[in-house]
Amino acid sequence: MLAVDMTGDAVKAKNGSMVAYDGEMAFKKLSGGGEGIRGMVTRRLTGEQMTLMEVKGHGTCWFADRAAEISLVGLQGDKLYVESSNLLATDGGLRTGTSFTGVRGASQGNGLFTTTIEGHGQAAIMSDGPAVLLRVSPQYPLTVDPGAYVAHQGDLRQSFQSGVTFRTLLGEGGGEAFQIRFEGDGLVYVQPSERNTIAGDV
């Protein structure tokens, strides 16, 4: 559960994620993932669905979703890439958008686009079990199962690699048919649980 203390400021949170509050709070649904009409159109075209609400007031507001683990990510003008289903809340001043992910999103069953968050402030991301933060450096690239991927930040390049072989088609594969390879310099958040993906069915 995430407790947010507010003194007249605002946060953006996943619609319906408020579980309790004290003091005075106002709730307002945001269109297009908080990006207005243009964002709403973009998200409809890209298939990256996200419904947010703005919470403003004085007091403490508690947020949660399906008892998921919550990690806070601090942004200092940089950009965070996160699956919309893994985003719980952000500071009101952070900007959200969409970014093309290509085959990575398709392998996860999440579409070809993902949510971006940028600016100065904190974002709360969710994971199925405690998220693990893994560093990627030019000397040490990282390969991740699409079902365990949660988010990433930094100067990273993604590529999609397939382990599909004739043995996979015969049902003798190791169950890891597709992976995401990250190269560059940055951080990747993974969860100790795999969501159902298209890749997991191969």
The DSSP annotation for 70-93 comes to EEEEEEEEEEEEE-GGGEEEEETT
- Residue 163 has a pLDDT of 58
The β-bridge partners of 181 are: 143, 159
CA distance 23 to 37: 31
- What sign does the dihedral 126-190-104-95 (CA atoms) show? positive
DSSP 168: H
The first and second tokens of residue 163, run together, are 């382990």
Spans of the chain, pLDDT less than 50: 34-48, 104-111, 164-171, 173-174, 198-202
pLDDT, tens only, 106-126: 444 444 568 899 999 999 999
Q: Quote the pLDDT of residue 197.
A: 53
Q: What is the pLDDT of residue 161?
A: 74
Give the pLDDT score at 106. 45
- Strands of 83-140, DSSP E: 87-91, 95-100, 113-127, 132-136
Best CA proximity match to 13, nearest among 49, 83, 74, 65: 65
Can you tell me the distance from the alpha carbon of 41 to that of 46, in angstroms, rounded to the nearest whole number?
A: 9
DSSP 197: -
Q: Looking at residue 195, what is its pLDDT?
A: 66
